[in-house]
Structure 1
Amino acid sequence: MLKIALPKGRLFEESLELFLKKGIIQEGFEEGRRLSVRVGDYEFLLVKPFDVPVYVENGVADLGVVGRDVLLEKKPDLYVLFDLGIGFCRIVVAGKEENREKYLKSSYIKVATKYPRITQEFFSEKGIKCKVIPLSGSVELAPLIGLSDFIVDLVQTGRTLRENNLVVIEEITTSTAMLVCNRASYRNKKAEVLKVLERFVCLSSTR
């Protein structure tokens, strides 16, 4: 039996719908208080998005669905098998409109984010000194109260930014959901793993 880590929250419904659409499972289930759900030949573990690669890398789950943003931030030691093409978002630098010129001209800025690695690497490549302020939530509040000059965050529709009078200043990269696999599981359960992968990429069983 394969164990598959699914992210709770934004990506859960899209991920489950894709597993149903591809015929990997025949019945769905709701995201509730249960953290482990058995469906057919699979056991699904419902975990926080940033924890998916932790479960997969450590072999608790064989497969997982995780955003590219999380992979870029965590850089886990696992196989990325396939871009599932769901959960499209952008990782952006955002701030107040009146600070746009400051962003373009400053050699030192303060940035609040849930993505400290991505943020540091991005501004290092641009040659800009950056004080990274790690936050786990309510990142949009930081520039409004003077904690930071800008934020780096994941944006889907941009609604939360607009509601807080913030604008996208620069796009860093895009993110979609990826199918990832534990390295040992790929060796020891290769037939089962490839059976799932073939459903997603529409490969024949003989290829």
Structure 2
Amino acid sequence: MADQIIIAVPKGRILKEVLPLFEAVGIVPEAAFGDEDSRLLRFATNRPDIGLIRVRAFDVATFVAHGAAQIGIVGSDVLMEFDYSEIYAPIDLGIGHCRISVAEPVAMAATDDPREWSHVRVATKYPNITRRHFEARGVQAECVKLNGAMEIAPVLGLSSRIVDLVSTGRTLKDNGLAEVETIAEVSSRLIVNRAAFKTRAGDIVPLVEAFRQAVGGSDAASA
């Protein structure tokens, strides 16, 4: 349907945490949506006025910012990295908790003091967050942009440090790395296209309020 409200949801680990939220607001996706092996990108729901798309986390923000999707669920890390003015993020959904951290080889971390850094070379998919973080401390950051497999960069000499999302820390440990600094705590947010929030308020505002009730909070920002 051309007038459907499209909700963009990230692939990966957050999917299982999203499903109970949808149930709480009365949205039941088709069965394939919960199947991480499904190659489908667009999914129907029990509501003919609501459709879902499942894309990469960074792309969720892009779809919503450009109005291809009216609503999305995405980590605050993505919002920090791109800072789209077209996106309104009214609700912290309280899921997808993790952190953006600086990590380096364990042997280096044993004697290293981040307070003494003046220049760092960092592999990351968050160059904007990384530069802002280090610039605020007067540290020059040379960022090597990678889309994945950051943990291998120090081993192969691409960079001495990485900035990446960390949940349990197991991937870092398995690759001989240790966290030395936390840049930001991360959780998933409900995001809305600002223009759609105004022009389709009758459709979108009740949905936003339903999500707010589902998480039991009043977290909001001015549109």
2:68 matches 1:60 = yes
Tell me if the contact between 2:99 and 2:185 (Cα under 8 Å) persists in the aligned partners.
yes
Residue of structure 2 in register with 1:153 after alignment: 164
Q: Secondary structure at the match of 1:202?
A: helix
Residue of structure 2 in register with 1:79 after alignment: 88
Offset from partner CA, 1:46-104 (integer Å, 9 cap, x none)? 11110001111111111000110001001112111211010001000001133231644
> For the residues of structure 1 that align with 2:29 and 2:79, how far apart are their CA atoms?
29
Match of 1:45 among 25, 48, 53: 53
> For the residues of structure 2 that align with 1:202 and 1:14, how far apart are their CA atoms?
16
Map of 1:1-207 to 2, 5 A cutoff? 1-20=4-23, 22-26=24-28, 29=31, 30-31=34-35, 32-41=38-47, 42-76=50-84, 77-100=86-109, 101=112, 103-202=114-213
Q: Secondary structure at the match of 2:154?
A: helix
> For the residues of structure 2 that align with 1:56 and 1:161, how far apart are their CA atoms?
32
Structure 2: where are the runs of 5+ without partners?
215-223
Q: How many Å apart are 1:27 and its aligned residue? A: 5.0
Q: TM-score with structure 1 length normalisation?
A: 0.92
Amino acid across the alignment from 1:16: L
Aligned length: 202
Tell me if the contact between 2:42 and 2:51 (Cα under 8 Å) persists in the aligned partners.
yes
Q: Secondary structure at the match of 1:65?
A: strand
Provide the alpha-carbon RMSD of the alignment.
1.5
Q: Secondary structure at the match of 1:148?
A: coil
Q: How many Å apart are 1:133 and its aligned residue? A: 0.7
> For the residues of structure 2 that align with 1:9 and 1:3, how far apart are their CA atoms?
19
Q: TM-score with structure 2 length normalisation?
A: 0.86
Tell me if the contact between 1:16 and 1:28 (Cα under 8 Å) persists in the aligned partners.
no
Residue of structure 1 in register with 2:218 after alignment: none
> For the residues of structure 1 that align with 2:164 and 2:196, how far apart are their CA atoms?
32
